[in-house]
């Protein structure tokens, strides 16, 4: 493998992760534009984010304690549209991140695609552990991410042709 090939393989996971994170954020923003969250959730989320940015652990803990029950209460009564938009963001981010990682890599495209998919699955597990989501959300999200990561890896991997008999 050439130096350029090694550099591409080193960069592939980083590019894939950046594309994955930006894609999930963008797709969730579209989902929020179509299905705006309730104003109290927006206010609590903003306070939570501000506390995280400030680096004040006490303020962050207070914000978390207020946000978590409000989110869980909303998730139990939320219509299917905004919940499905979140699942689409999870799977779409995994798809685009896997595509980016596999496109940058010079070899091992399946592995890079699966790596981004694994990070996405871990993120889904973490967020659904933080707030009690309806069970169908992580099932669809994790299943969808596995399918798209494998499909991208297969699609982006070089095809091996069978030897032609003499």
**Residue 110 maps to a domain:** yes
Q: Which of 67, 120, 66 is nearest to 96 (CA)?
A: 120
Summarised one tens digit per residue, pLDDT across range 45-78 is 898 889 889 888 888 888 888 888 898 889 888 9
**Could you say which of 78, 109, 131 is where a domain stops?**
78
Residue 92 counted as domain residue: yes
Q: Is the pLDDT of residue 164 over 70?
A: no
For residue 10 the two structure tokens come to: 């080193």
In the predicted model, is pLDDT for residue 81 greater than 60? yes
Residues 18 and 49 in one domain: no
Task: Tell me the C-alpha distance between 28 and 22, whole Å.
Answer: 10
Query: Which of 5, 18, 15 has its CA nearest to residue 107?
Result: 5
- What is the DSSP-derived secondary structure letter of residue 158? P
162 — pLDDT class (breaks 50, 70, 90): low
Indicate whether 152 and 107 sit together in one domain.
yes
CA angle 149, 155, 157 (to 5 degrees): 100
67 and 51: one domain?
Answer: yes
pLDDT at 60: 87
Cβ–Cβ < 8 Å for 118, 60? no
Do 87 and 153 lie in one domain? The reply is yes
Q: 27, 57, 78 — which closes off a domain?
A: 78
User: Residue 40's domain spans which residues?
Assistant: 36-78
Residue 166 lies inside a defined structural domain of this protein: no
Q: Are residues 73 and 89 in the same domain?
A: no
Domain co-membership, 58 together with 124 = no
pLDDT tens digits, one per residue of 90-138 = 999 999 999 999 999 989 999 999 999 999 999 999 999 988 899 999 9
Count of domains forming the chain: 2
Q: Are residues 120 and 140 in the same domain?
A: yes
């Amino acid at each position: 493998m050439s130096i350029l090939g090694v550099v591409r393989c080193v960069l592939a996971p980083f590019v894939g992760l950046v594309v994955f994170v930006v894609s999930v954020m963008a797709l969730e923003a579209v989902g929020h534009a179509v299905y705006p969250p309730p104003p109290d959730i927006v206010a609590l989320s903003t306070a939570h984010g501000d506390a995280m940015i400030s680096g004040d652990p006490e303020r962050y803990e207070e914000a978390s304690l207020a946000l978590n029950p409000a989110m869980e209460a909303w998730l139990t009564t939320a219509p299917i549209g905004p919940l499905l938009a979140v699942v689409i963001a999870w799977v779409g981010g995994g798809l685009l991140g896997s595509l980016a990682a596999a496109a940058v890599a010079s070899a091992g495209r399946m592995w890079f695609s699966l790596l981004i998919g694994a990070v996405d699955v871990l993120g889904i597990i973490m967020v659904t552990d933080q707030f009690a989501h309806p069970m169908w959300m992580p099932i669809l999200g994790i299943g969808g991410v596995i399918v798209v990561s494998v499909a991208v890896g297969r699609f982006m991997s070089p095809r091996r042709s069978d030897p032609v008999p003499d």
